Chain A
Amino acid sequence: MTQAEQERRFLDKIDREIKIEPNDWMPDEYRQTLIRQISQHAHSEIVGMLPEGNWITRAPNLRRKAVLLAKVQDEAGHGLYLYSATETLGADREQLMDDMHTGKAKYSSIFNYPALTWADIGTIGWLVDGAAIMNQVALCRTSYGPYARAMVKICKEESFHQRQGYESLMKLCNGAPQQKAMAQDAMNRFWWPSLMMFGPSDAESTHSDQSIKWKIKRFTNDELRQSFVDATVSQAQILGLTIPDPNLKWNEDRGHYDFSEINWEEFWQVVKGNGPCNKERIAARLKAKEEGLWVREAANAFAKKRAMKKSA
């Protein structure tokens, strides 16, 4: 079959909503786009464990501690589903991780902000996981089979992440004035970085057009960001928290909330590695890789020894 014929078949499958599977022919650019997007997503899950993991030993009670532990475990699992999906495309897992460590591959910029107080943990669950879910629900229908299947599983598991965060904030907001103030402070710091999670505006987004055509993405960054704002306003009202945006208001004509322009200068600074925690996060990942090396080697040596005993 000629290249043109292969390409026609591929596009026909996309048109008819037939999923692309690992051994199917696909344009090289489709493959590379997926590897870039899925690995970035996987890195985000793994790096996302860091700000929260830091609070496991400081959770205010055993219930919150067990919940946080379960959430962080889920994120490790989600990272693994996604790395597996990249491997079905021929990517090398170790190489992808090295690409993150050298800064060649990115992860969600939100994790370059510190989690300073306990209220940040609730806020991360509510806003950060909420924004992630908005994006991931849309990706359940992405055109590449293994990615779509990973997303379905992740979305199912992640709905508890957002709810536990909201519940935790509800407790703080109904507690002492200091607790409420702590929740508001977390909201003030996390609101804008959460909106930045959807990526650059459609006008600036380099990969969007082709990704929409190939049905890798189903909605644009700005569409998803708008859905998130629309969904979150009433949730904030029920908590009694103020969204830190004086221009946030319902627009009857559009049927959506209007909101201020994002500080894109800050966004690009964080993406380029100059956020508050970029260096700390990469250092933690490198440390984990290097200090865990002997465990991986020992497991290999043990497997070899056992295999030899068996065959002897």
Chain B
Amino acid sequence: MSTTQWPLWEVFIRSKQGLNHKHVGSLRAPDATLALENARDVYTRRSEGISIWVVESANIHATDIDDADSFFEPSDTKIYRHPTFYEVPDGVKHM
């Protein structure tokens, strides 16, 4: 049948001032303008957002799930980056 598949876009929405844009899902659209309008209709029918980003899915680069363990390992081993690593006497305040 038809082979007019539109490109896939990832949709990010800022729900209110002061918060990050957050990934909410994807949709298909022929261009960015229509992707934004479709995103409004599909993902913000109940005032879920005040700003939308759309990015063509093909332009997203991601970490490889199979390398995740080694890729993130450097931060797993550095527990001294967390405040709870350090011992402070009970009486010390405002710290």
Contact = CB atoms under 8 A, between A and B. Distances in A.
Contacts of B14: none
Contact of A93 (B5, B45, B65, B66): B5
A293 B45 contact: no
A102 to B, nearest CB: 10
Contacts of A77: 41-43, 45
A87 B34 CA distance: 20
Nearest to A80: B42
B4 to A, nearest CB: 4
A303 interface: yes
Contacts of B25: 81, 84, 149-150
B92 interface: no
Residue picked from B4, B43, B45, most chain A C-beta under 10 Å: B4
Given A23-B65, A150-B25, A300 B41 contact: no
A93 B62 contact: no
B6 A296 contact: yes
B66 to A, nearest CB: 8
Contacts of A297: 4
A84 B3 contact: no
A94 B6 contact: no
Nearest to A73: B45
Contacts of B46: 157
What bracket does the count of chain A residues touching chain B fall in?
Answer: 20 to 34
Contacts of A293: 2, 4
Contacts of A289: 1-2
B54 interface: no
A16 B71 CA distance: 23
A289 B1 CA distance: 10
B6 A299 contact: yes
A256 interface: no
B55 to A, nearest CB: 14
Contacts of B4: 293, 296-297, 300
Interface in B6-63: 6, 8, 25-28, 30-31, 34, 41-43, 45-46, 62
Contacts of A258: none
Interface string A55-86: 00000000000000010011001001100100
Interface in A162-192: none
B31 A303 contact: yes
A87 B3 contact: no
Contacts of B31: 299, 302-303, 306-307
A93 B25 CA distance: 15
Nearest to A146: B25
B6 to A, nearest CB: 7
A174 to B, nearest CB: 30
A299 B66 CA distance: 38
Given A77-B41, A92-B5, A94-B2, 20 more contacts: A1-B66, A25-B66, A70-B45, A73-B41, A74-B45, A77-B45, A81-B25, A88-B26, A93-B5, A157-B46, A289-B1, A289-B2, A296-B4, A296-B6, A297-B4, A299-B34, A302-B30, A302-B31, A303-B30, A307-B31
30 contacts: A21-B65, A25-B65, A25-B66, A70-B45, A73-B41, A73-B45, A77-B45, A80-B27, A80-B42, A81-B25, A81-B42, A84-B27, A87-B26, A88-B26, A92-B5, A93-B5, A93-B28, A94-B1, A94-B2, A149-B25, A150-B25, A157-B46, A289-B1, A293-B4, A296-B30, A299-B34, A300-B4, A300-B30, A303-B31, A307-B31
Interface of A: 1, 21, 23-25, 70, 73-74, 77, 80-81, 84, 87-88, 92-94, 98, 149-150, 157, 289, 293, 296-297, 299-300, 302-303, 306-307
